[in-house]
Amino acid sequence: MKPLLICLALLCTPTCVLSQGVVAFRNDNLTAPPDRLVRCIDMPMGLTGTTFAAQLLYGTDPDSLTPHPTLAYFRAPGSASPGTWSGGNRTLTGAGGVGTTIFLQVAVWDSGPNRTVTFDQARANRGYFGVSQVFSYQQGLSNPPDPVNDTKMSNFVGFTNLSVPCVPEPSVGWLLLPTAIVMWLLKRRTRHSNIGP
């Protein structure tokens, strides 16, 4: 009985391992076209800054993606690779595997000086944030295996939709101030023109 249980456990192991995909979460290993860089309105050559975080979202349903817990960060200003983040391999728990199509998305935001600001906080505080389009991914299995090319995010397309921090809208009082000044000047002018010799 014991040898049978060992054989069953060994047969189950490849299935369990294959139910987890792996993706090379990086855009510096992708060639153009299309454009693979992340840009911002005030950084058109490519986003830089080591507080800018990139996070992988993944899943089998494009409308319900799971954020991977490991973040990557963009390169320092002056880098030879602006618009790219320093990433690495990510294991996709419960999704993917060789030959299985899943969906990915990249979220980017400014995580603050201590790297503690979350994506949701950046969005709520009107900080820098943005997301890529959802794209499909299928982990390959070359013969012989090619761990570099088999896990590339080949369908990733860069984006420029990072929101720039908004200038706060003026209050109603400040909007009415110019009108009040104009009215005061007109009234004063009318009073002076009615005064005769």
Query: What are the tens digits of pLDDT across the range 63-76?
Result: 999 999 999 999 99
Query: What are the tens digits of pLDDT across the range 120-155?
Result: 999 999 889 999 999 999 999 888 878 789 999 999
The answer to pTM > 0.85 is no
Handedness of CA 8, 14, 15, 20 (dihedral sign): positive
Residues in the chain: 197
Q: Where are the domains of the chain?
A: 16-167
**Greater model confidence, 83 or 7:** 83
Query: What are the tens digits of pLDDT across the range 36-84?
Result: 999 998 899 999 999 999 999 999 999 999 999 999 999 999 999 999 9
* Mean pLDDT of all residues in 15-29: 78
CA dist., res. 122 & res. 108, Å (int):
10
Tell me, rounded to whole angstroms, the distance of Cα 17 from its chain centroid.
28
The DSSP output letter for 116 is: -
Q: What is the CA radius of gyration of the chain?
A: 27
Task: Cite the DSSP H helix spans in 63-148.
Answer: 119-124
Q: What angle do CA 178, 184, 188 make, to 5 degrees?
A: 145
Q: Are 152 and 36 in contact (CB under 8 A)?
A: no
Of 80-84, 97-101, 161-165, where does mean pLDDT reach its minimum? 161-165
